Amino acid sequence: MWMAATTSLAGKVKTLVRAAGEGIADAAALLRAGQLVAFATETVYGLGADATQAAAVRRIYKVKRRPADNPLIVHVLNQRQAEDYAVGFDDVARILARRFWPGPLTMVVGRGEKIPAEVSAGLPTMAVRCPAHKAAQRLLAALGRPIAAPSANLSGHVSPTTAADVLAELEGRIPLILDGGPCRVGVESTVIDLTVDPPVVLRPGSVTVEMIHAALRRKLGTRVEAIGTTSMSGNAVAKSPGMSKRHYAPVTPTYRYLRGEWHQVRAWLNRYRPRARVVRLSCEKSGAVGGQEVLIHLSAKGEQCARHLYKNLRTADSRGYDLILVEMPPDRGHVWTAIRDRIRRASQEWPP
């Protein structure tokens, strides 16, 4: 069984940050040579390798310190390239590709023989997505082959949504970051498994279950209602090992509480952690802010809340606070399902 190396890298490399518009040809040359390049996508920044080179793909796991059982997403230029490298790209996949590609929807289908097993952590399947960001599109076009890329952070950390975030995570470990500005979506792609019937959403994202239902209703009829989100169930964890519950997490101890619970949280802090420097993330504009406490406002608009969620978590994490407290927004479906999912993974339930 193939194993990813988890030891630290021997020599440091100099990491260049270049505007995506100017660095494409060099980035493609690095990828062709088996090196790694971080690049902007509309969801979060990716850490890319030529998906057809097993040694380059192994390097991703090493640089990220990613567990060997957590498969990568294969990025493609278009549907034609997806069909060329996958097997079993069926009618359902075609409908979803036509409706949501290029864009933040990843489909799990069969893995073709041109994609090495390392990409999928040994699974016979592969996750494939066509990104909409110009930088990603141009890089894929210049390389002429698919790019395997997980998020460009160290394993378990919050995903990067700017080139500066990537530099903070991976400086000295990769030669090049293609800066394409802040990511528009801000949370990782929706992942849907099409190798089971009915399909199942393994990770919620900005392409919502409601949108997928609408796209497939004509094809699947009432069976479409069976497509749900199971990212938090044990079943999905077994199916997709990277979906482990704790993920995307700040280093500072982070707790989530429910709307309306803040007064209890405050009383608990006063009693048990009176000296703790606390940062609170909440959709509510006002509310009691104690002496030692800082408030970061999360947007009450779903898309904006998602776009800035990781930036806000990184800010909260970077200022030396003792505790981060995040208010869980109410379950209003749509993109809130993804936001709640990421907050759950970033935090532990309060009270500890």
CA dist., res. 149 & res. 160, Å (int): 13
Among 176, 202, 278, 335, binds ligand AMP (CB under 6 A): 202
Stretches 11-19, 117-125, 306-314, 342-350: which one binds ligand AMP (CB under 6 A)?
117-125
To ligand AMP, the closest distance from the beta carbon of 51 in angstroms equals 12
In the set 42, 50, 169, 188, which binds ligand AMP (CB under 6 A)? 188
187 binds, among Mg ion, ligand AMP, none (CB under 5 to 8 A by kind): none
Cα separation, 96 vs 108, in Å, equals 12
Nearer to Mg ion, 160 or 329 (CB): 160
DSSP for 191-246, written as a single string:
EEE-SSSS-EEEE--SS-HHHHHHHHHHHHGGGGGG--B-TTSHHHHHHSGGG-SS
Contact 246, 314 (CB under 8 A): no
Neighbour count for residue 78 (Cβ, 10 Å)? 15
Q: Does 240 bind ligand AMP (CB under 6 A)?
A: yes
In the complex, minimum distance from the CB of residue 189 to ligand AMP, in angstroms, rounded to a whole number: 7
Nearest by Cα to 237 from 268, 201, 202: 202
Closer by beta carbon to ligand AMP, 194 or else 220? 194
> 198 preceded by cis ω (within 30°)?
yes
CB of 259 to ligand AMP, least distance (A): 28
User: Measured from the CB atom, is 265 or 309 closer to ligand AMP?
Assistant: 309
Task: Give the whole-angstrom CA distance, residue 154 versus residue 34.
Answer: 20
Residue 183 contact among ligand AMP, Mg ion, none, beta carbon within 5 to 8 Å by kind: none
From residue 136 to residue 175, what is the string marking binding to ligand AMP with x (rule CB under 6 A)?
Answer: --------------xx------------------------
Partner whose footprint covers residue 123, from ligand AMP, Mg ion, none (CB < 5 to 8 Å by kind)? ligand AMP
Distances (CA, A) of 130 to 96, 100, 127, 196, 257: 11, 9, 11, 21, 36
Choose the contact partner of 282 out of Mg ion, ligand AMP, none; CB within 5 to 8 A by kind: none
Could you tell me the smallest distance in angstroms from the CB atom of residue 252 to Mg ion? 19
Pair type for strands 73-75 and 125-129:
parallel
Residues lying near ligand AMP in the complex (CB under 6 A): 70-71, 73, 108, 120, 123, 125-127, 150-151, 188, 191, 202, 240, 242-243
